[in-house]
Amino acid sequence: MISTRGRYALRVMLDIAVNEKDGLVPMKEVAGRQGLSLKYLEQILPALTKNGLLKGTQGKGGGYCLTRKPEEYKIGEILRLTERELAPVSCLAEGATECERRPECQTISFWEGLNNVINNYLDSKTLRDLM
């Protein structure tokens, strides 16, 4: 399940993509338009800026803007950055130790298929698609 952190990050990125034509987008305005807590957004923004998805300026006239065109942001990229994990089962999580039952696991191919469907879908959609 995608957490509020991932859902809010996606909403923030989309709001900025739609509204940055006016220049930098103040986070207070994003919070107001999206009905989100500014304090919670302030916890999400560092990950987005540190990883180069957004560029921010503090102070009067400050705000945020995208670092790339909306069509260059895959939804999967945003969600993988903000979610701890997108794998449908723990044995497929990034960095997971291989399950001792894997050689005889009759369901692993099902879970791998679902994982591929999820990731392929998320990577096939961009911010531009949501705009």
Note the maximum CA span of the chain.
Answer: 61
Please tell me the distance from the alpha carbon of residue 15 to that of residue 34, in angstroms, as a whole number: 8
* pLDDT per residue as tens digits for the range 25-58: 999 999 999 999 999 999 999 999 999 999 998 8
Evaluate whether 123 touches 9 at the Cβ level (below 8 Å): no
Band the pLDDT of 1: cuts 50, 70, 90.
confident
Strands 54-57 and 63-66: antiparallel
pLDDT at 98: 87
Evaluate whether 50 touches 104 at the Cβ level (below 8 Å): no
pLDDT at 23: 87
pTM of the model: 0.90
* pLDDT per residue as tens digits for the range 78-100: 999 999 889 999 999 988 898 89
In this prediction, residues 64-73 reach a mean pLDDT of 97
Please tell me the distance from the alpha carbon of residue 99 to that of residue 41, in angstroms, as a whole number: 37
Please tell me the distance from the alpha carbon of residue 24 to that of residue 49, in angstroms, as a whole number: 14
Evaluate whether 78 touches 9 at the Cβ level (below 8 Å): yes
* pLDDT per residue as tens digits for the range 7-20: 999 999 999 999 99
